[in-house]
Chain A
Amino acid sequence: MTMISKGLLLVAVLGLAACNNPGRFGAGGAGGAGAGGQYGQGGYGAGGIGQSGLGGPNDPSSTAYFQQTLGDRVFFSYDQSTVDDAARQTLTQQAQWLNQNPNYAIIIEGHADEKGTREYNLALGARRASSAQDFLISQGVAPSRMRTVSYGKERPVQVCSSEDCYAKNRRAVTVLSQGAGM
């Protein structure tokens, strides 16, 4: 696969991820997070964005089941990227689901709370995404199905400036997209 077409596919994958997960950036989504292609790396359209029914959270093969019933995210302590017991449990279930649903590729987003500088938080978010990825690999998920991206402190899900919100923002989110084997 050429660099260009791979780039297009990645943009397409992110576009789909955003469709699958409308709550991620609040209602409506920001649009600016993944898609774009402003600098000639492809645009929003770019083919490959199929749409299908997502099923409900009670349908074990649905993405809604993955996101809501199993849980698509794990949380971290302040300035830490270690996968704790609760996170291991969630990731173990994610891995089982991914192993049973091999048609999905995933992007693991790493995020930080606002109590850090921009660059450090980007690096920390990458560490968190990588920790989650390593655990999924240890549970048998093929590395070729996964990519990571760090958003640092750029995309909080909670905006209050207290530990309650910070704890929800220090996260790694496993975002599903169809089309494994990219």
Chain B
Amino acid sequence: MFRPLATALTIALSLTGGVALAQQGPLRIEITEGVIEPLPFAAPAFIAENGAAQQYAADITRVIAADLSGTGLFREIPANAHISRVSSFDAPIAYNDWKAINAQALITGAVSASGNQIVVKFRLFDIFSGQPLGEGLQFAGTPDTWRRMAHKVADAAYSRITGETGYFDSRVVYVQESGPKDARQKRVAVMDYDGANTQYLTDSSSLVLAPRFSPNGSQILFTSYASGFPRIYLMNMQNMQVRALDEQPGTMTFAPRFAPDGRTVVFSLEQGGNSDIYTLDTQSGQRRQLTNSPSIETAPSFSPDGSQIVFESDRSGTSQIYVMSAGGGEARRISAGEGRYNTPVWSPRGDMIAFTKQHAGRFHIGVMRTNGSEERLLTASFLDEGPTWAPNGRVLMFTREGAGASGQASLYSVDISGRNLKQVPTNGPASDPAWSPLLP
């Protein structure tokens, strides 16, 4: 389930948001309309408290700094510019030395490793007010979870400075592609949000499309041609068991997504050339038709409170975005601009809808309010499609594909302010990303 957001944040977050530093008072990045310089921080190498911890300490520090810098909201001051040396986790902080190099935040930490456990401790300091920002925190886990612990430290620092939930300790399920465009092979893969720890969940014997996480991250939905025809499947991430969800012969099922209840799936079912939206209770198998129209209805996505569904339909002649009640019934069109609108996805905060827009031969990722107002396009390229929200609703990841035979698909991310557009590293061509919730 998505966490409620602090009220202060909701106020601070603006659709046209940039970043402003509060120069007075406590250390804080406010998401406001002004766009200014990233906040400079120092993250001296975490102290290795024993020999076995040395490599982990170095690696964890590197991942924390990469997480924060990767947001575009922070800028790391390189270690060779540091004046002060942190010799032990409990040593007093030389605030003036950090102030002298213009660090505004300082992250210190220590790592110990023994047996099958590593322990990471960290503290965050507000240099200009000369005091710690929040309590020290400690994470413990098996050595193979060292990256997750680093992400959790970075999430805590991000959260304390921005006032928002973090998103670094999260995963992304996507489609790994290989082969030329006219004989492309696809497999479902999952990785950390930053591209590390890739695992493949299916082989490439069947074409697979658009995997999606369940609200608690324990299951994924995807579309596969394993039967020869597109059908939706459900995979249990613990034991990798897969089952077909809806096997009505003569139909195609696709575009599945979970409802926030983690039990209901909304998807498209095509019969006789016509696609409509249905829900399926994955426990009882009960199916319910929500739209009944001769036009294309697809790409449904629930609001985080489960009360509404946003979807695309070409009932007006071209594909546009509509919102209806979770039980179906009358739908209202919310997209109003020129062009074709597809793949609407409700923000985990509930306040915005991300979409793909096709206009004048270009594709865009954009966001709008849930009533269709304040539309903003964040990207433009030959082919951008299929946005997915970071768990905190601040960042979108999507598929970008180039033209022609050499234009392979890859994953990109962009801040909802439109800043910080960058490619997400993957093992080869990749498409159809879907972000997990923040891991527990």
Instruction: Name the distance in Å between A149's Cβ and chain B's nearest Cβ.
Output: 5
Query: How many interface contacts (CB-CB < 8 Å) are there between A and B?
Result: 159
Q: Are A26 and B183 in contact (CB under 8 A)?
A: yes
Instruction: Contacts A117-B356, A120-B299 given; indicate if A161 touches B386 (C-beta within 8 A).
Output: no
In the A-B complex, the 5 residue pairs with the smallest Cβ-Cβ separation, listed nearest first, are A130-B273, A161-B403, A36-B206, A30-B183, A117-B342
Per-position binary interface string of chain A over residues 121-148, scored 1 when its CB falls under 8 Å from any chain B CB and 0 otherwise = 0111011111101100000000000011
Residues of B within 8 A of A123 (CB): 254, 268, 270, 275, 296, 298
Q: List 13 A-B contacts (CB under 8 A).
A: A31-B205, A32-B204, A36-B226, A39-B242, A119-B298, A120-B342, A122-B230, A126-B270, A126-B273, A134-B273, A149-B230, A158-B182, A161-B403
Instruction: Contacts A29-B183, A118-B209, A126-B252 given; indicate if A159 touches B405 (C-beta within 8 A).
Output: yes
- Which A residues form the contact surface with B (CB < 8 A)? 3, 6-7, 10-11, 13-14, 25-26, 28-39, 41, 79, 81, 114-120, 122-124, 126-131, 133-134, 147-151, 154-161
User: Which listed residue (A6, A117, A154) contacts B386, Cβ 8 A?
Assistant: A117
User: Which listed residue (B206, B318, B319) contacts A32, Cβ 8 A?
Assistant: B206
User: Which listed residue (A30, A39, A147, A156) contacts B185, Cβ 8 A?
Assistant: A30
Instruction: Name the distance in Å between B192's Cβ and chain A's nearest Cβ.
Output: 24
- Whether B370 is near chain A, meaning CB under 8 Å from some CB there, is no
Count residues of B near A (Cβ-Cβ below 8 Å).
Answer: 61
User: Which residue, of A26, A119, A148, A156, has the highest number of chain B Cβ atoms within 10 A?
Assistant: A119
Residues of A within 8 A of B375 (CB): none
In the complex, A141→B382 CA distance in Å? 41
- Whether B225 is near chain A, meaning CB under 8 Å from some CB there, is yes
User: Which listed residue (B186, B249, B342, B404) contacts A160, Cβ 8 A?
Assistant: B404
Q: Are B183 and A25 in contact (CB under 8 A)?
A: yes
Residues of A within 8 A of B343 (CB): 117, 119
Residues of B within 8 A of A35 (CB): 205, 228
User: Which listed residue (B182, B206, B230) contacts A38, Cβ 8 A?
Assistant: B206
User: Which listed residue (B207, B228, B250, B403) contacts A154, Cβ 8 A?
Assistant: B207
Instruction: Name the distance in Å between A152's Cβ and chain B's nearest Cβ.
Output: 8
In the complex, A114→B268 CA distance in Å? 20
Q: Are A14 and B252 in contact (CB under 8 A)?
A: no
- Whether B104 is near chain A, meaning CB under 8 Å from some CB there, is no
Q: Are B225 and A129 in contact (CB under 8 A)?
A: no
User: Which listed residue (A3, A33, A114, A120) contacts B207, Cβ 8 A?
Assistant: A33
In the complex, A127→B230 CA distance in Å? 14
